[in-house]
Structure 1
């Protein structure tokens, strides 16, 4: 986020603020206080915490910039801080499901009070730095919207009743199988990273820099369920030679036999609309980096680097199956020319470790803890998913997760050396 080059949005900032904040509440419609209290695993967080933490962020980093600001509930700062060590101590992440107080009603009221205070501040006028902090907070909120969906999906999957989050929309007719082909990528020196013409970027997308691309090609669409099923039936989870050492150890320890949420019949899967038939042409999802890498080896290919992916995506229209579609599940590739499904449907694992770009400088102060300190032991994903808000994504966006993670909507695009 470069505050010195921050541009005023065409959309009114206050309207944008309220729209995004209301969307988070809308995603909770139909969920009970009990649903929003559940923490199904240490990597997930309760829905109530997802409502409270971004609110804490606005209170801490926007309202709190005024030395005269007094928090109405300072004791909540400990509970709703995530990982900002320079701000103060925090409740242990794996134990967020124990936070029965404040109640859901109190958290909703907390959101309303902070929204009112931030709204009044914006109406009075904000300088460039504060405007940039508000935008960072909104981007942060959109990340938590996606996490709320993935976390409630995992929680409902752990439920013996397998509850339905939202009824499925009428099914789109699944196109006949699109034979995968590879499209030649550019070779030579290219530029990647945040372009100043873009309205926003996280610090980990900077600085824009040159990098070298060797001769390569990328698959024009994502790997489908039917293609991954062939890997499963061919014994992919039993062939140690396909797996990285840590991946094979994870498969053995966790007993993985198929993607997360696939049922034992290999013909159905758990979705946010309950258990549904597996669409053979839809992208396989909820795949770890280890599984994506093993599949690529089995297929005689590899995963793209993030530079290859970004160079192929730059200039493409950001359109696809996003959160706004209300499907909350990937769909089959549309017919079309060129690279398909580069945005939306599933986050695409890359072969690139999550490390800093040359010349990277984190944001000053506590906001510098947002991304930089996680640059070890994780891998980059690109493109967004069916749970990502469409206006949240861009070509330079770098998501990152540890290689064993698979509760996110993550999938596979293949690459090749040429």
Structure 2
């Protein structure tokens, strides 16, 4: 379909006239991931070191399986059996400084099971069934303590060792569902999206190796904060800040005090130092001017910028220090920052995709279909474009 970016992008100061595309090829295609004809790709995940990528696949002949590829050449390093009969994410369980080709381990979870594999064999090395009345919403691997943390619909967070043994529980508000979890880059803070409010735990007291009976007590006594009592929008793992969405309730604006502080129009509030949050804590920044409620947000890798998308497919990029809006666009259904620069990958409502300069809003490089999904290496030097759930190539690009 005809790309629409030339008509859509604008900097905060006015309209942008994109420079000629031929003179601005910033990414070079290297090839594509090795797949069989007709195989449907699930969501892809890049390893912390940026040298491997993992994903689930489905084919009419072979059913469901998972694969790990080398990003050096796109060749499959391992094919894993025993995956769940669905195109679920395959995630890496390894520290950021561990060479992936040597000791890569990946895992996946359903609502009732957790499985883990290594590159040396196709069968799972861990098969964990949760308790019968427990439904998992998210599983996070903690590379600092080499444990799996499991969040469920109700009850505490469960902590398991790599062998599948239950180590401890982390106490929560037992009557609220707990969803996506984010661990700070230094492993000192755990943030839990908990259905309308945020849980924050200071993890520095949890030891790196914990094999005796004292582990359960240590986890049970982790310092935690309940709040802010708002929907979680985005987490900055580097600088340990978060952005939240206060409830929109114009009729209750006059009600002061308490944990809930409603607003009249869609608003984003930014917070830091959450270990001491209480109902009197003030946000460090408030962002306003949204046409419709927000549906997605993300911090840049350095925490300096915040990207937002609203329900009307309006994109905005903000200075996360000053609150200044630096770029806007319309008709965008998905977007993400590319680490190590001032660029983003965007996917438009008409099916076109491109790399955009957020400093001026210029179109730098269109991306050929299929490109409805993008996964980017942590160093920002490699990206993969593909369409999850569909057959087609997964193209690998390297920054020039």
Query: Is the shorter-chain TM-score for this pair beyond 0.5, marking a shared fold?
Result: no
TM superposition score category, shorter chain reference: under 0.3
- After TM superposition, the score normalised by the length of structure 2 is 0.26
Higher strand share: 2
Give the structure, 1 or 2, with the largest relative contact order (CA under 8 Å, sep 6 or more). Answer: 1
